[in-house]
Amino acid sequence: MEAQATTATTWVIDPTHSEVQFKVKHLMVSTVTGSFSKFDGQLTMTGDDFQDADISFSADIDSISTGNEQRDGHLKSGEFFDAGQFPQLTFKSTSMTKTGDDTYNLTGDLTLHGVTKSVTLKAEYGGQMQDFYGQTKAGFEVTGVIKRKEYGLTWDGVTEAGGVVVSDDVRLIMNIQVTKQA
């Protein structure tokens, strides 16, 4: 009996229709949102389902923006991300497991600031559609929380009253549109 060949399908991120953001509490009373403007990635799957898709992603640390130049400079400095020494964050999936009709647990290795840790993120599949040019697009919203200190991002400011300036928890929110490759 001959084994049937499985065809792989590759999808690449469409950066003009995608957002990569993070949110962190400031002074534990308000939230600051940041984003990366330069990123890329791809997803390779076999079959008709995204279960067990192989996903790779990277973002340029130097493209970080929080809407404040001074804060962005501090984040790129050696006290935080150290963009000079660690110019990218990367993610490489180890599994994508279906948890519902349109939901998945996406597990993989996140490398940030020279430290690699396994993380599990939630991925919600938004569906597929053909665009005006006949290209097939698919959308996902990926969310999760990481602890910044686990990645060596240990800068801490403390107010005169003893309050924490930046929380350890960082929420990730990525709205990703991918384009099916021919």
Cα–Cα dist 104/123, whole Å = 5
Answer yes or no: is 20 within a domain: yes
If one counts every other C-beta atom within 10 angstroms of the C-beta of residue 41, the result is 21
Q: For 33-79, how does the pLDDT look when each residue is reduced to its tens digit (9 = 90+)?
A: 999 999 999 999 998 889 989 999 999 999 999 999 998 998 999 88
Answer yes or no: is 114 within a domain: yes
Number of domains in the chain: 1
**What domain range is 59 assigned to?**
8-180
Q: Are 99 and 50 in contact (CB under 8 A)?
A: no
| Residue 47 structure tokens | 């079959």
Answer yes or no: is 1 within a domain: no
If one counts every other C-beta atom within 10 angstroms of the C-beta of residue 177, the result is 19
| Residue 57 structure tokens | 């992603």
pLDDT of residue 132 exceeding 70, the answer is yes
pLDDT of residue 162 exceeding 60, the answer is no
Answer yes or no: is 86 within a domain: yes
Answer yes or no: is 77 within a domain: yes
Q: What CATH number does residue 108 fall under? A: 2.40.128.110
pLDDT of residue 136 exceeding 90, the answer is yes
65: Cβ–Cβ under 8 A, 6 or more apart, which residues? 34, 35, 36, 37, 72
